[in-house]
Structure 1
Amino acid sequence: MEPILQLEFDSTAFPDSYGELTTPVKQLVWILEDLLVLQYPDKPSHFRMNDMIDPFLKEITYLVIGYYYMTQGHKIGTDTNVFKWLRIKPSDIPPQDVIYRKMRDPSIVDAICSYGILNYKQPEFALLTPNPAPDNVLLDKTVNHCHIGSFEKVIYRVTAEDVVQTQIVINTECDVFHGSFHYNMAWHLGKQGALLNTVRAAKPYNRPINLRSLVYNARGARLDGFRNHVKLIVEQFSPMFVIVTESRQGVEAARDFASFIGYP
């Protein structure tokens, strides 16, 4: 697999001095200093991460570094000082899908919390509970992206014109360092003369259609007010399909809800 980080640097080079580090890099250094009981060097060090005896602590360290770069990449950029300090390579860091899977493993999360790097997040009241007004979204690109935080209560009436293929990919992202969870949606649209070439692309429709769909981040779908709100919008908008995220309910409740709004 490709390494999660595409970084190039001289592995024999000494890292920058502590005072030269940016704040995001310093924050990662603080975490690693406490985790490894090390001090960021002010002179050349012979420490090598791969010589660490405790394999579980090594695994945790690689996960923390990879996850930090994944969630804070826009701040930390391509800084390589941590890699130079610990004498590790980008290929030592697990792939993104492995990191996400591990960071959802209760035993891994418990272990990281036990080191004091993570905090268990207490439930918080979502005080803004009224049903939101729908926002209209027109998809006008071959690939359209949508990023929704699980804490947001939002609804979108999504349309696209003259479509002959539709593929929707929904991925989830969990940032345990900041206690946030997001849905990333990618809408792939095929049109006449420009069909999708992805492996899982659906067969094209017989003729172009105007796509109408509804996306609702429910933040809990059990309230009668939510159910009635969706049903009203469905009756007014007549979407081809409805996507409800963050329902916080199971399959049977989803089937009951689909029947309630007329999508059995």
Structure 2
Amino acid sequence: MNSSVDPENLSEKIYAGTLGSTQPEGIPEEYTINYKTREDSLNAVEAGHADYGYGNAYSVAFYTLQNGYQNIITVPRGKDDRAYCFAVPSENKVLLSILNKSIDSIDERELQTLVLISTAKIDQKITLSMIISNYGLQVILLSSLIIAVLSVSIFRNLRDNKELKLQNERYQILSNISNEYMYEYYFEKNELNLSKNIIHLFENRKFMEESVAILKEALRTGDSTQSIYRIELPLSAENKVIFKSVSSFIRNSKGKVHSVIGKLIDVSEE
């Protein structure tokens, strides 16, 4: 029965039975929940879905050891004689004879020993509560270590992002002051990012897209060793401006060019 139940007061308590078993005398059916197996009924009592149940000492001990029940207590109510038998194919009389002779050769003491040995050989289920109970300190220390590592990593990422943002703002300010326009081109994505201060130079989006295409083509097909060159970009229908491009190539671990970062300098008046 559940450890919270008073064994002397089982009236109006929920009885956990098993399907196909005989209803115990004195227990009303309205206070009975029948489960498919004895293990299911024990699980229900353990979880508090039912209050108590009946079972033989061997099955209760087996499932208690296997599942590590913490909320079940056992109260002996008596001992019933139980008879067990083996079913064999009717045509296999030799096997039946061997089984009968083997059983007859076992005395009561040996039989009880075999039962106890079989009951003790149980593959105990590993549950979360068992892990916490046996390795609670280790789990707490490991969890604390993981949380600490993640916290440090998050803090460093936030700090690096903040520093990167400050650097970008600094470069943007310097770009505005020096009449320079920053860009970054990614080869695999064929993606070109322009600084905000260059956008206002174009008369409309059409000319900006045309200039982006020209600069992409120059970066994609140009000599990867050439970092300074001149390029003409259309800002409007009547106005084409010559820029000097100064760039640096960023390579991956295999030495392949990953991206280009550079700046455009207006040299049309030179």
The structure with more helix, counted as a fraction of residues: 2
Please classify the TM superposition score into its range, dividing by the shorter chain length. under 0.3
TM-score by length of 1: 0.19
For CA contacts below 8 A with separation 6 or more, give which structure has more relative contact order. Answer: 1
